[in-house]
Structure 1
Amino acid sequence: MDKKFLPVTREEMLERGWDQVDFVYVCGDAYVDHSSFGAAIITRVLEAHGYRIGMIAQPDWKDEKSIQVFGMPRLGFMVSAGNMDSMVNHYTVSKKRRSSDAYTPGGVAGKRPDYATVVYCNLIRRVYKQVPIIIGGIEASLRRLAHYDYWSNSLKHSILVDSQANILIYGMGELAVVEVAEALESGIAVEDITYVEGTAYRTKNLDAVYDAQMLPSYEELCRDKKVYAESFYTQYCNTDHFTAKCLVEKYNDHLYVVQNPPARPLTQMELDDVYALPYMRAYHPSYEAAGGVPALQEIKFSLTSNRGCFGGCSFCALTFHQGRILQTRSHESILAEAKEMIKEPDFKGYIHDVGGPTGNFRHTSCGKQLTHGVCTNKQCLFPKPCKNLIVDHSDYLALLRKLRALPGVKKVFIRSGIRFDYVMEDKDDSFIRELCKYHISGQLRVAPEHVADRVLHYMGKPENAVYESFVKRYQRVNKMTGKKQFLVPYLMSSHPGSGLSEAVELAEYLRDLGYMPEQVQDFYPTPSTLSTCMYYTGLDPRTMEKVYVPVNPHEKAMQRALMQYRNPRNYDLVKEALLKAGREDLIGFGPECLIHPRKEKWMQEKWDNRHRKNTKKR
């Protein structure tokens, strides 16, 4: 049977001989049937289990008819904001509207609403009063309990409360979505589907809830930021399938949100099956006239080899979404996808990436995780690598060698990033040698994020000395291989813990490096990260100690400007920052100075001095 897109119109549904779909999937992204898009994975998984799916991509949220394309679905609606939180998609960190949207045909902005999941669900609920609504995707996943919302600068309810959805699927969702679908198919009322791992739900009472941990109520969270920090850390410690408890958050005497423990990690065979589904690997042809969907071009010739991350960066939401246990595809699965990729007419011989959240993770961090789970009270790599950490790049190297050997492949890049601290724990040079020789082109992007150890501590990153050791090793290996290649560091300003003195330290590092980043990464407080909790509460939830947080927009602008101190447009901000930090020594003409005095002021002072001397002579 020929592969085809899921129906997007009623006519296409009828052409398949269907008079009704089982589920309507409503998505804030354009319809791209590629395994890098969550909507594609979930709909293809459901299809593989025999369900009929209709796709409504980017409906007009002001028009009730836009979600009536297929009529009333037999089992329910599924809703996702898309591959990104809709607010991150819409706004920069300075809360300015973005001018484009890579997940929309032609890159046009404004094709989805703010808080898209809530808006779509309320639109559906106005038309279909009793239909089951299941929400998922990154936006729902990271807003499943009460959370700080940066854009409104407020503590918001669980998205289940505002959306009126029945069930929320968090995490990657393949196991949970099938179990929910099968429960609905068997005739179980949606309000009785309370037992599925990897889900959260609303309930009027706790009669069916057992062995749960009560979190502070929403009212208590709003009243005391310290209580919120404590509640958040409880959630943070309950993200592992093997150790997590059921969590309950109270909203009033007749409304509770219950979060079941996470779904188990997929086995390698199950993950292979997900990626073997009949994806079209393309955007819907109806978008061709608009120029296609830009986001596809970034990942079309990339390969996902893993999911999950035990890196534990404080500003990353992966702990809440994918979890810390690594799940990997087999070599056979990845090679099969690569061979299909090579057949595509616009493939030029370059595989753009082989990785996932972290490219060089290909197995769990220690041997006990698949039976006992990850440790709740410590990280695998921070502040120092755990003594039980398994450091082994051999499987990843074997995979990369097989991909390089495929006919039609010129080069295989690694662009999803590597953990340099993990590399430094590997005493064998084999991986870094082959990385430099075969898998980068002129420069390697890595993410030290900062140079001040105080800031790195709050980021959950290794001390700067680890990065400096990696730089020396990278340079040594490049020299051995006869390559002249560079490191491009990702650095972040205004993270909790970073004051002006730490920002100046970062600027001095860039001065010594002789490098000025073209774009500056300012800390973005996105939902459900440790760093966002610090930003909102001024507390480190791991220790409950106070942490300095740059929240004033002007100070944040100064920290950003210091990272681009050579830009003349940043002169006034850089000067103000240096003066406030007590670092006037960095204003002058010496080699260590960041900026010169203003020319006109220098000339004025010179003229004033000469004038005073002439006056004395007279």
Structure 2
Amino acid sequence: MILPACADEVAYYYKNNLDILLLTGDAYVDHPSFGISIIAQLLKKQGYRVAIAAQPTKSTLRNYPRPNLLVGITAGNVDSILSNYTANRKIRSDDKYSSGGSPGFKNNRNRPPRATIVYANWIKEIFKGIPVVIGGIEASLRRFAHYDYYSDKIRKSILADSKADLLVYGMGESQILEIVKRVEHQGPDFDRSGIPGTCYLQSSPQGKILPSYEEVVNNKSGLPQAYKIISQHSHPGYSSILSQQQDSRYIICNPPALPVDTVKLDEIYGLPYSRTVHFLFKKVPAFEMIANSITSHRGCVGNCSFCSIITHQGRIISSRSESSILEEVDIITTLESFHGHITDVGGPSADMYGSYCNFNSQIGCGSRRFCLYPKPCLNFINQPDKYFQLLEKILSHPKVKKVSIGSGLRLDLALRHDQYLKKIITTYTSGMLKVAPEHIAPQVLEVMRKYQPGEFEKFYTRFTKLKKEFKLRIQLVPYFILSHPGETESDLELLSRYVKKNRIFSKAIQDFTPSPLTRSTAIYASGINPDNGQEIYVAKKDKIRKRRRTKILNKKP
């Protein structure tokens, strides 16, 4: 059942007796691909009266009754700066998480820039004294002092700027249940300490101390030093409490929460989602893309330097059971929008389903080694047979005509199992197969912590051979990143020649966008490698980035 999402519905369904109000920068879609819907349905299952204010204005928020417990805030499924501005700081003309894909007007965006801070300030004014909890990917990425590419400067923690009571980082299900329980029993002045996967402010430091906000601003090496410590303490079971001074107070960051196990993940995706858009909103492009897709797992073991997935979902794979996924197939096939095609069964990388660490299946190896970089760890167990058995069972469903892998593949994993790669290309690709080589120049791949040089070329050769052998009308869509830290003119020339020689004119070529709290962003902002303190070349000037983009896209400068 879809939850109340306006003041009139709260009055009708709850008689204005509301426990929890959740704000989001997305349009309200009651589907498990939208984080706010998961949190709302989870709280509702616990017996709380929950309402959602989706893309609210200050005036619409005034119409809601004061919640009994707390207000939860998220900018939505994407960071609000990244959703409003391009890699070149130009204002975006669309927002896939809004009605009709429209972002609103220039000075009145549906999702305001720095939405978490804006919403928190409104709530603090309207419902004085009520506990405010911020979460979602924007809060996860910006929980410490961070580089903000739009303003081109170091900003304070979003917790300090929003003046919220507590910040939840990571996926958040276990955290929010504990927080609500504490507020219910202790009131607004609840104990904020000791909850894994949360941050709060206090007057004194705890645990390991990071370079302060002032040090990060004034010292070139401050951000890479802070990143190095944060990355070493980002693994459940291996991490300490971290502190970072912001003016006269300290951000206290508890160690990460343990990822949910299969049983709990099945429960989360088995909640009664209506899988519809609330009537206040029209067609939402992001929902139309995933309406008939299935999330099979969370987390990513790739550890790519530029990617924020690990910052939010973690690098431990949590997979749903086969029975849970097949039950979701049953539900999807009853929807009016379903016409026989399951458009994706995957996660951050589809072929990581069922993967685990043989050293410790619950918490992995910590920061001592990476699962796939520079080469696969012997403790990393990938189970492609399990994944393909699942796909075959879905395809055997009487109402399913086609199953596709839409979330992309990890090249090095696909190349390890040629028989499965053949199945992917011949059976489970619908029009386009997405892969993410990101670059082909060895030194750029090293900075990115991506594949070994030559792996994409091997994959491309194999794909081309199979495509020709089976006379398939499919296209390989390789994603490349331009102007990533470490990319020189000779590296760009190498990539340009390869792309043109093989006629890979992909629309998925993009400029590097610095996401907060990633290794690549620490390098971009400082020009320093966090691992060894050595300098790395960074193309930061807009003129250089534009010239590189026009060259690779074969356009006139």
CA contact (8 A) 1:325 1:369 kept: no
Partner of 1:29: 26
Aligned equivalents of 1:487, 1:260: Cα separation in 2: 42
CA contact (8 A) 1:517 1:563 kept: no
1:197 maps to 2:196 = yes
Aligned equivalents of 2:499, 2:544: Cα separation in 1: 19
Partner of 1:463: 452
Q: Give per-residue Cα distances to partners, 1:445-476, cap 9 Å, x unaligned.
A: 21111110111111111123122222233344
Partner of 2:221: 226
Partner of 1:174: 173
Distance 1:319 1:559, change over 3 A: same
1:95 maps to 2:89 = yes
The structure 1 residue matched to 2:353, chosen from 353, 362, 372, is 362
How far 1:482 moved relative to its partner?
5.4
After the TM superposition, which residues 140-179 of structure 1 pair with which residues of structure 2 at under 5 Å, given as runs? 140-179=139-178
CA contact (8 A) 2:182 2:190 kept: no
Partner of 2:210: 215
Q: Find the residue that maps to 1:379 and give its secondary structure.
A: coil
1:104 maps to 2:89 = no
Sequence identity percentage: 37
After the TM superposition, which residues 240-389 of structure 1 pair with which residues of structure 2 at under 5 Å, given as runs? 240-253=235-248, 255-287=249-281, 291-389=282-380
Distance 1:97 1:484, change over 3 A: closer
Partner of 2:5: 8
How far 1:365 moved relative to its partner?
4.0
How far 1:320 moved relative to its partner?
1.0
The structure 1 residue matched to 2:77, chosen from 79, 83, 88, is 83
Q: Find the residue that maps to 1:34 and give its secondary structure.
A: coil
How far 1:318 moved relative to its partner?
1.3
How far 1:373 moved relative to its partner?
2.9
Which residue identity does 1:551 align to in structure 2?
K
Q: Give per-residue Cα distances to partners, 1:11-56, cap 9 Å, x unaligned.
A: 3223224432111111111111110001100111111111111111
How far 1:491 moved relative to its partner?
1.3
How far 1:256 moved relative to its partner?
1.0
Aligned equivalents of 1:452, 1:344: Cα separation in 2: 46
Aligned equivalents of 2:168, 2:194: Cα separation in 1: 12
Q: Give per-residue Cα distances to partners, 1:505-563, cap 9 Å, x unaligned.
A: 11110121123234531111111111111100101212222110000111101111121
Q: Find the residue that maps to 1:283 and give its secondary structure.
A: coil
Aligned equivalents of 2:134, 2:213: Cα separation in 1: 21
Aligned equivalents of 1:261, 1:132: Cα separation in 2: 22
The unaligned stretches of length 5 or more in structure 1 are 574-618
Q: Give per-residue Cα distances to partners, 1:321-367, cap 9 Å, x unaligned.
A: 11000000111111111111111112111111110100000134421
Aligned equivalents of 2:311, 2:70: Cα separation in 1: 26
Q: Find the residue that maps to 2:280 and give its secondary structure.
A: helix
Q: Give per-residue Cα distances to partners, 1:430-459, cap 9 Å, x unaligned.
A: 311211221113442211111101111111
Partner of 2:232: 237
Q: Give per-residue Cα distances to partners, 1:466-507, cap 9 Å, x unaligned.
A: 222222333444455554644232111100011111111111
The structure 2 residue matched to 1:405, chosen from 388, 396, 411, is 396
Which residue identity does 1:416 align to in structure 2?
S
Aligned equivalents of 2:196, 2:328: Cα separation in 1: 30
Aligned equivalents of 2:416, 2:189: Cα separation in 1: 49
CA contact (8 A) 2:354 2:387 kept: no
CA contact (8 A) 1:54 1:70 kept: no
Partner of 1:487: 476
Aligned equivalents of 2:75, 2:111: Cα separation in 1: 8
Distance 1:17 1:546, change over 3 A: closer
CA contact (8 A) 1:29 1:83 kept: yes
1:504 maps to 2:501 = no
Aligned equivalents of 1:476, 1:461: Cα separation in 2: 24
Partner of 1:121: 120
Which residue identity does 2:290 align to in structure 1?
I
Aligned equivalents of 2:218, 2:25: Cα separation in 1: 34
The structure 1 residue matched to 2:17, chosen from 17, 20, 36, is 20
Partner of 1:607: none
Which residue identity does 2:149 align to in structure 1?
Y
The structure 2 residue matched to 1:39, chosen from 36, 39, 43, is 36
Partner of 1:578: none
CA contact (8 A) 2:167 2:198 kept: yes
Q: Find the residue that maps to 2:176 and give its secondary structure.
A: helix
After the TM superposition, which residues 530-569 of structure 1 pair with which residues of structure 2 at under 5 Å, given as runs? 530-565=519-554, 567=555
How far 1:410 moved relative to its partner?
1.1
CA contact (8 A) 2:140 2:169 kept: yes
Which residue identity does 1:444 align to in structure 2?
L
Q: Find the residue that maps to 1:545 and give its secondary structure.
A: coil
CA contact (8 A) 1:307 1:328 kept: yes
CA contact (8 A) 1:309 1:323 kept: yes
CA contact (8 A) 1:229 1:533 kept: yes
How far 1:188 moved relative to its partner?
4.9
How far 1:374 moved relative to its partner?
3.0
CA contact (8 A) 1:27 1:39 kept: yes
Which residue identity does 1:373 align to in structure 2?
G
Q: Give per-residue Cα distances to partners, 1:107-133, cap 9 Å, x unaligned.
A: 221212110000110111122221100
Aligned equivalents of 1:189, 1:195: Cα separation in 2: 17
Question: What is the RMSD computed on CA atoms of the aligned residues?
Answer: 1.6
Q: Find the residue that maps to 1:56 and give its secondary structure.
A: strand
Aligned equivalents of 2:264, 2:382: Cα separation in 1: 25
Aligned equivalents of 1:371, 1:269: Cα separation in 2: 13
CA contact (8 A) 2:299 2:314 kept: yes
Aligned equivalents of 1:445, 1:487: Cα separation in 2: 6
CA contact (8 A) 2:16 2:65 kept: no
Farther-moved stretch of structure 1 (460-469 vs 262-271): 460-469
The structure 2 residue matched to 1:48, chosen from 45, 49, 70, is 45
CA contact (8 A) 1:449 1:490 kept: yes
Which residue identity does 2:345 align to in structure 1?
V
How far 1:368 moved relative to its partner?
2.0
How far 1:101 moved relative to its partner?
1.3
Larger radius of gyration, structure 1 or 2?
1
Partner of 1:598: none
Partner of 2:106: none
Partner of 2:513: 524
How far 1:219 moved relative to its partner?
1.2
CA contact (8 A) 1:122 1:163 kept: yes
The unaligned stretches of length 5 or more in structure 2 are 104-108
CA contact (8 A) 1:118 1:163 kept: yes
1:437 maps to 2:408 = no
1:185 maps to 2:184 = yes
Distance 1:418 1:252, change over 3 A: same
Aligned equivalents of 1:11, 1:90: Cα separation in 2: 30
